[in-house]
Chain A
Amino acid sequence: MKKLGKVISALMASVLVASALVGCTDAASTETNDSQAQTQPAQETESSSDNGATFKIGAIGPLTGGAAAYGNAVCNAAELAVEDINAAGGINGYQVEYSKEDDELNAEKSVNAYNTLKDWGMQILVGSTTSACSIAVSEYTKADNMFQLTPSGSAVDCVKYDNVFRVCFSDPNQGIASAQYISDHNLATKVGIIYDSSDVYSTGIYQKFVDESAGKNYEIVSQEAFTADNATDFSVQLQKAKDAGADLVFLPIYYQAASLILTQANTMGYAPTFFGVDGMDGILTVENFDTKLAEGVMLLTPFAADATDDLTVNFVKKYEEKYGETPNQFAADAYDAVFIIKQAIEAKNATPDMSISDLGDALKGAMTEIEASGLTSSKMTWDASGEPNKEPKAVVIKDGAYVSAE
């Protein structure tokens, strides 16, 4: 399967190069035009640029299945960003074409999606939405030296190759960001932690959080673990945090377990501030969950849909008009991702007729030089490792909705 995909992708890559070149009549491309390229019909575009060439950006995410909410947010927001860019005259005068593919939260299918997009002519990838898929695809973008910017792939390994950058914080770095946020906003004096010791995501954040907490203005009074096999009864962990007097409980875990913790804390009459990370996002979507229980829960997230700055207000309005729902942080990350790509292209004056690899090299270089501003942060920079550097933000749940905690 994979082999076949590779063969096809290799075949298609040549077609892609040809089709990318076909519309370009400038000097740079004529020398490489071959007969195949000339007979290839130019891709239909809504281009208004003088030579008809377009940048082709693809996005991958789970558009169906359990994580469809994530994938659709990413793919919709990327589409919206592309439309906005095109309406404002494109990137360096070149219009942008956009296509998306479903990976069903499956690494293998994500690679297939990548190959399908390459067949279509993709030059830059926004994706994959989820970590495992993003890592799987990065093996192929690495081989092609295609520039890959994952909006939301937060596992450490997502950016292990130099051609991959991300918009969101990495998993463990959320621990650092959370500690900073709790300290900066004086949220607590005594902190309890409940984490999943059988999960890399959770333990990674937990360790960084504990490391970063040294010397902060709060004290960690209880650190309790659970495992995936033991994730139903949290009475002990909560009772210990309560007995230790924790006024904030840090939950670097996914919302499934968190919903149980909130319910059990409520029945035992314990009401500290609960502080989660991006895994907490989704707590309000648990079917039949009494959202009153989540009242006051805070979570580290780059985006709050109710923020009042013009950029957010415009984005939310357009997104709601087009897709009928309020955008979440995945949407914000993806929207930013497309604009970051735009900025990087502009920084290097890159053109659509460059090969995928040349474009990749140019954008890699640009990423460490640019300072981007977007929905998720007014100031984002990157180092060569692919990790973003930005201010942490948090939201609080009020009346069953995320509200900016600022």
Chain B
Amino acid sequence: MSFLTYLINGLSLGSIYAIIALGYTMVYGIAKMLNFAHGDFIMVGCYIIFSVSAALSGNSAVGIVLAVILCTLLGITTEFVAYRPLRGAASPLAVLITAIGVSYFLENVALLIFGADIKSFTSVIKWEGLSFAGGQLRIQGVTVITIAVSVVILIALQLFINKTKQGQAMLAVAEDKGAATLMGINVNKTIMLTFAIGSSLAAVAGALLCSAYPSLSPYTGAMPGIKAFVAAVLGGIGSIPGAMIGGLVLGIVEILSKTYISSQLSDAIVFGILVVVLLVKPTGILGKVIQEKV
């Protein structure tokens, strides 16, 4: 029974990684850049929900909607101000370094506004959860909802990309920017849309992350962001189902290795697995299987 508990904890953690990884992988797949500030978009989203909830005495629904809207705007602005001017730069490293800069910028702004003290985040999910086998196996509400939300997002993204005109445009930009331009696709607009979607996902991930692990600081998003990046690479960066699988694998491996091997070495094991997978399959788990990279 406790194995099941651990497994479900792993699924829950993995689903959060997966939602974050979706944001990474979309931006990479289409804009061919790593948005290292993605984890900090999560943190911004959390602070927005936290502040709005506090101001409206606990009404988190408004907070989530506002967080999604503001994070989307933040993503678009960041792309427009910091990344777009560098897209034509000689070295792809320029954008990468800028992304790290944006990450530190956001963390320090949050430090300035909210201070370094941690804040306890009130879960946006009030549901207690399920209980099986006479209370021996408990699944928390936030776990169920996190897993459900990640599946819904995955399906919605797949449908969007494959069935809509904008989605097709994304695929085209991912394939070949130059050719897409010739076909009359507005590349800048498409990339902006990608950032908008990725950033709104960050807000959703933030709400779930802080509901499951209710501690909020300016560095809340940093480590989950890196882990999710690993998940995206593990699953095959650029692949949407890959991000999902990568996230779940990472979460489960992390929890189980903590349980059965060593609570200190879990990160080492997680990253070790990444190395092994990349040695065997350099494009990640789903990197080659799915042709239609987004």
Contact = CB atoms under 8 A, between A and B. Distances in A.
B215 A267 contact: no
Contacts of B266: 230
B104 interface: no
B9 A288 contact: no
Interface in A246-284: 256-257, 259-260, 263-264, 267-269
A256 to B, nearest CB: 5
Contacts of A236: 6, 9, 255, 258-259, 263
B213 interface: yes
Contact of B120 (A240, A263, A268): A263
B267 interface: yes
Contacts of B138: 268-269
A193 to B, nearest CB: 11
Most buried by B among A225, A235, A263: A235
A287 to B, nearest CB: 4
Chain A interface size, as a band, is 20 to 34
B54 interface: yes
B259 A288 contact: no
Interface string B94-119: 00000000000000000000011111
A233 interface: yes
A233 B210 CA distance: 11
Nearest to B53: A288
Nearest to B128: A267
Contacts of A259: 118, 120, 215
A333 B122 CA distance: 35
Contacts of A239: 2, 5-6, 9, 259
Given A230-B267, A233-B13, A66 B115 contact: yes
Interface in B248-294: 254-255, 258-259, 262-264, 266-267
A286 interface: yes
A263 B50 CA distance: 17
B130 interface: no
A351 interface: no
Contacts of B6: 235-236, 239
B263 A66 contact: no
A134 B215 CA distance: 29
Interface in B185-221: 209, 213-215, 217
A184 interface: no
Contacts of A260: 213-215
B122 A286 contact: no
A181 interface: no
Given A229-B223, A263-B120, A286-B119, A237 B213 contact: no
Contact of B213 (A66, A232, A286): A232
A225 B264 contact: yes
- A-B pairs, 9 with minimum CB distance: A289-B120, A232-B213, A236-B258, A287-B119, A66-B116, A288-B120, A225-B264, A235-B9, A224-B263
13 contacts: A225-B262, A232-B223, A233-B255, A235-B5, A235-B6, A235-B9, A236-B259, A239-B9, A239-B259, A260-B215, A269-B135, A287-B120, A288-B54
